[in-house]
Amino acid sequence: MLAILESLSRRKTALAAAAGILAGATLFGGTPAATQAVNAITGAATEIDEDIRRFCSNIADAARDRRYAMQRSELETLQTDIDERIAALEEKRAEYEEWLQRRNDFLEKAENNLVDIYSRMRPDAAAERLAEVNVELAAGILMKLQSRQAGIILNEMNSKAAATLTSIMASAARKQDPS
């Protein structure tokens, strides 16, 4: 590398001298010295171009390998980042599933307790209370009650509320999706 730089420096000096000779020959008329200077300039330029080509071809493989190594390093860094994010997401997913399971267990217990409460109520009081709650919740409670108890409670309700709950219960009991 140092030898190439020294060679380029010497050629640069030779080019400067040839350019000076050429300028002098042009001012004072064309002479064989001017022709020799032009030949020296073009010859030096050709040698410099050849040296540059050789230098570039010598370092092309090393430069390509270095570029590939840098790209590989970047990809490894990105892969590490992605792996860390995936691990964090998996941790959050597991946490969410645990929370969801606890919630579902709680709701099942609460729902069973709610069904027990309504099963012990007088039918007229249960009918009055169920008419006031969300129709889907009321239908769910009635579906979990024994058929006889549910029938008595529905009998105590006004006909419009009983019809609404009955249609919801019938839709839920279907084996096929109505849509």
Which residue from 37, 39, 57 is spatially nearest to 47, judged by alpha carbons? Answer: 39
The pLDDT value given to residue 136: 84
3 pLDDT more than 70? no
Mean per-residue pLDDT, 42-65? 74
Largest separation between any pair of C-alpha atoms in the chain: 130
* pLDDT, mean of residues 97-101: 90
35 touches 22 (CB < 8 A): no
Instruction: Note whether 48 and 8 are within 8 A (CB).
Output: yes
Average pLDDT score over residue span 34-49: 59
Tell me the pLDDT band of 69, cut-offs 50, 70 and 90. Answer: very high
**Where do the structural domains in the chain lie, given as residue ranges?**
121-174
DSSP 3-state percent helix, strand, coil across the chain (nearest 5) = 90, 0, 10
Q: Which of 31-40, 59-68, 103-112 has the lowest mean pLDDT?
A: 31-40
Give me the residue label for tokens 């096929």. 176
* Residue 42, pLDDT score: 57
